[in-house]
Amino acid sequence: MDSAKKKKRIRRTTRKTIAGIKLPPIEPNGDGDIKTIVDVDPSFYSLVEGRPIRPNASIHKYKQHIKEVAMKRTIHGFLVDEMLRIDREIAMERDIYETASKHFDEYKNSFDKFLAHDNNKTIAVMKKSDTMAKDLANQTEEQRKANFELSTIKSKLQYIDETLSILLSFQTFLYKASPYLWQEKYEIKLDENRTEICTTNSDIFCEVDIDLVKERLSQLPPPQLYFETPDQLLTVFRSLEKQNLNYLLVTEELTVEKNKFLKALDSLKKLLRQELDFIEQKIKETREIIYMNEIREIEVKEVFYRILEERIQYLVSSEMALQIFNYVEFAYEHLLAPNETNLSSLDMALALETEYDNLQLDISAFDLNLVKAIEKETYENSSQEINQAKEAAKLLRDVDKLSRRMKSSYEPSRKQLHY
């Protein structure tokens, strides 16, 4: 019984189920010694070696100490790297210095050998160089003096050229001040585009073309002067002053007229502007009238075509219009002449009106009593004619009635006969 209970305990302790998962049984360890993490990983605690032990319960101060230690370690590493770099650079510079010193010693020994081997030749070359330096200094001094003399000559030549230009400008002034007839007599021609005798250049040491200077001087015309003394010029200038004074007076007089003309011109411009505004207004009004007339034309056309559709038949081919035409034509043919030219009713009415006016004029020349007697007779005759016309109309109606009765008598009877 005891052995069975022990086996059940062993099964319960060795086989466990965690979250529904059956774990394998734990084998019993025969060794009773306890193992720690150091037995598994001996360098485990070396990771935290050197860290300060927290003396108090403040985690903030502990973190601050940890940061300071990390910062100091970083600075220490940076300084160690800088010291190593400086040591490496010092070593490189020492190598470069030793190499340069070695090369310098080699060059020095080689130069000493060269001087010892060719000393006499070197002394001769140095003497020759001193002689050539002295000759070069002498030639440089001579060239400097020559350049100074050349620049002096060119300056004088330019001064002469400028003086000649001034004199020629005076000559041109005197020619222009001289009389026109004298200029035509001596055929004076002024050269406004005169070229310079000596072309100026920024380089004063350039070569001067002497032949060109001589050629340009030979092309200058010989001087001819009308004025021989300065008093003659004063006389001419006095006359010019008087003439200018007269011109000023005339100019003042013309200025007044000019101002009047400008005022009249301004007023004329204003009037023209007003006229133009008025014309533009009239043009605008005319356009509006034309536009209204066009609209009125459209309306009148519509009315005309409507009247033409509705009234023209009545006015042209109705019974009343035909009757009026017959009456007018009957009166025209009996009073004036036959209507062979097919005149309209209006033309015939106008002709009858003209004939009536002529008859009235003729009647006004007759005796009034005779006219009254004729009118009375005419009225009596017209009344008789009217009575005859009434009787004729009555007789015509009777004849029409009789003719209708006769026609009806010849027609078959409308009543039905029963046999």
378 pLDDT band, cuts 50/70/90, is confident
Instruction: Look up residue 161 and give its amino acid.
Output: D
In three-state secondary structure terms, 21 is: strand
334 pLDDT band, cuts 50/70/90, is confident
> What pLDDT score was predicted for residue 2?
54
> What pLDDT score was predicted for residue 185?
76
Go through 359-395 and write b for each residue having 16 or more CB atoms within 10 A of its CB, e for each that does not.
eeeeeeeeeeeeeeeeeeeeeeeeeeeeeeeeeeeee
> What pLDDT score was predicted for residue 51?
60
Mean pLDDT of 89-109: 89
> What pLDDT score was predicted for residue 19?
45
Gap between the Cα atoms of 188 and 186, Å rounded: 6
pLDDT in tens, 116-142: 666 667 777 778 888 888 888 888 888
More confident residue, 381 or 317: 381
Percent of the chain with pLDDT over 90: 11
> What pLDDT score was predicted for residue 55?
63
Average pLDDT, whole number, for the chain? 77
Gap between the Cα atoms of 334 and 337, Å rounded: 7
The pairing of beta strand 17-18 with beta strand 21-22 = antiparallel
Residue 370 pLDDT > 80: no
- The highest-confidence range among 52-66, 206-220, 339-353, by mean pLDDT, is 339-353
- The highest-confidence range among 39-48, 283-292, 315-324, 375-384, by mean pLDDT, is 283-292
Residue 195 pLDDT > 80: no
pTM of the model: 0.29
pLDDT in tens, 61-87: 878 888 888 898 889 888 989 999 999
The Cα-based distances of 75 to 52, 69, 81, 86, 388 in angstroms read 18, 10, 10, 16, 162
More confident residue, 8 or 318: 318
Longest dimension (CA), the chain: 199
Q: Which tokens belong to 200? A: 């100026």
- Residue ranges per domain, the chain? 47-117, 144-226, 243-303, 311-367
Mean pLDDT of 143-158: 81
> What pLDDT score was predicted for residue 29?
55
Instruction: Look up residue 6 and give its amino acid.
Output: K
Mean pLDDT of 152-160: 80
Gap between the Cα atoms of 25 and 33, Å rounded: 21
Residue 407 pLDDT > 60: yes
Gap between the Cα atoms of 170 and 177, Å rounded: 10
Give just the sign of the alpha carbon dihedral 52, 55, 59, 60: negative
More confident residue, 165 or 274: 274
Gap between the Cα atoms of 34 and 113, Å rounded: 89
Mean pLDDT of 346-367: 82
> What pLDDT score was predicted for residue 332?
83
Mean pLDDT of 232-260: 85
